[in-house]
Amino acid sequence: MNKLFLTGTLAALLAFTSCYKQQESKVTSFDDVLTSRRSVRSYDASKKISEAEVRELLTATQEAPSWANQQPTKYYVAISEEKLAAVQNLVGANKERIADAPVLIVSTFERGKSGFFQGNQTNEVGDGWGAYDNGLSNCYLIMKARAMGFDTLIMGMRDADGLRALFSIPENETIMAVISLGYRAEEPNRPDRRPLDDIVRFF
């Protein structure tokens, strides 16, 4: 009787564990990715991210659209303690906010590619299309990061000259942002969004 009871209990526990693991590994819906993404300014120092995970993340950015498939965006990844500390000193007031982020990514784009045809500017936006394509690539980055369970902060405050020297970034690349990558230490608030009719007009 006791043996049967123990065997049944063990079987139930194994079934529950298997079911829980299956639930845990379910792919998050795209709507969940959109609504749970936040600009995170406090990271869990106990959780790390591997180079393999960063590679998976950045591979996803290669699916982003770009002008004539020029793919002008480049990424420089700080993952060693030395490079992380150096980049932290180049992001102004955000230094303390991203102190515990295990990865910092510098995002750039090559000028003269998006927005040009045979070396000539196609319209008045010019290299603005490079920045546009960079933004699309970065959007894929932060959404894929959230789908993988990570969090991000896109930082416009940065010392471009310092970053260029630190990573030997070529002069033909415009440095756009530094993006922190890690796990949120606390649940951030969701800022209010403007009413849809404030930003959309139908004709």
Q: Is residue 96 part of a domain?
A: yes
- In CATH, what number is assigned to the domain containing residue 52? 3.40.109.10
What φ, ψ does residue 124 adopt, rounded to 5°?
-65, -15
- Between CA 160 and CA 156 the distance in angstroms is 10
Contact between residue 43 and residue 134 where contact means Cβ atoms under 8 Å apart: no
Q: Is residue 30 part of a domain?
A: no
Over its length of 203 residues, how does the chain's per-residue pLDDT go in tens digits? 455 444 443 444 444 344 433 333 344 799 999 999 999 999 999 999 999 999 999 999 999 999 999 999 999 999 999 999 999 999 999 999 999 999 999 999 999 999 999 999 999 999 999 999 999 999 999 999 999 999 999 999 999 999 999 999 999 999 999 999 999 999 999 999 999 999 999 99
Structural domain containing residue 147: 38-185
∠ Cα 136 146 104 (to 5°): 75
In one-letter notation, the amino acid at residue 182 is: G
Q: Is residue 109 part of a domain?
A: yes
Q: Is residue 9 part of a domain?
A: no
Contact between residue 129 and residue 67 where contact means Cβ atoms under 8 Å apart: yes
Give the pLDDT score at 44. 98
Please give the tally of structural domains in the chain.
1
DSSP string, 22-35: HHHTSPPPHHHHHH
Q: Is residue 80 part of a domain?
A: yes
Q: Is residue 194 part of a domain?
A: no
Residue among 65, 10, 25 nearest 149 (CA): 25
Q: Is residue 139 part of a domain?
A: yes
- Between CA 153 and CA 179 the distance in angstroms is 5
**Which two structure tokens, joined as six digits, stand for 83?**
């490079």
Q: Is residue 192 part of a domain?
A: no
Contact between residue 131 and residue 176 where contact means Cβ atoms under 8 Å apart: yes
Contact between residue 103 and residue 182 where contact means Cβ atoms under 8 Å apart: yes
Contacts of 22 by beta carbon, 8 Å cutoff, 6+ apart: none
